A = this chain, B = another copy of it.
Amino acid sequence: MKDQTRKKARLSAEDRRALLEDAACACIARGGIRDFTVDKIVAEAGVSRGLITHHFGSMDGLLAAVYSRMYGEWIAAISAPRPGLAPIDALIEALVSPALFSRDVLNVWLTLWGEITTNPVLRAEHRARYGQYRASIAALLREAAPAAAGFDAEAVASAFICLVDGLGVQRCVEPTLLSETDARAACWTLLRPYLDPVGAGSVAKARS
């Protein structure tokens, strides 16, 4: 009864778009781009077939919206302050947190990356956001580095971003082979020599 009346509820365009984006993410997380399908998504969202075209014009429009949303959430998550943690520690903790380092999230990223080659809209979105992403990480590194060290923060930031992407790939491909702890350790394997040069001689030592 309630459901019947509920079902007819009308949402604002914005809310409905968000709901459809969520459903699309869920489908992609479950089955990759092969499950990014009108039927699957509307079933997941519990709406009729015509709604996607109505709100996004086409499936490509929906995919672009999903990409934009994912990038925004990623940036927001790594930018959120974590009281009591140094900025770099906060960054790494965010990156290995379930909000970003879960298979659902990472599988959506992997799928979107795979579509970028074919989809100019996605590529434009990436180009617009990536520069800022890298710059903010480079700035973080410069702040965290000891004053004496004069390393190339842009280069380290670039390598760090690639490492994070690669950790995401491995996590997707075989989650049991790469724990959250492993990922944290990998991040420090790259950064420690630059941020903690005092211990450079004993670089072998693991950081708990």
Contact = CB atoms under 8 A, between A and B. Distances in A.
A162 B170 contact: yes
Contact of A110 (B34, B110, B206): B110
Interface residues of A, number: 53
Interface in A9-26: none
B159 A190 contact: yes
A185 interface: yes
Nearest to A169: B165
Interface centre among A178, A185, A186, A197 (most CB of B within 10 A): A186
Identical subunits present: 2
**Main DSSP-derived SS at the A contact region:** helix
Contacts of A193: 193-194, 200, 203
Interface stretch (A49-57, A86-94, A123-131): A123-131
Interface centre among A118, A151, A155, A190 (most CB of B within 10 A): A190
Would you list the 7 A-B pairs with minimal beta carbon distance, nearest first? Answer: A166-B166, A162-B166, A193-B193, A165-B166, A200-B200, A151-B204, A159-B186
Contacts of A189: 155-156, 159, 190
Contact of A206 (B32, B127, B152): B152
A132 to B, nearest CB: 13
A172 interface: yes
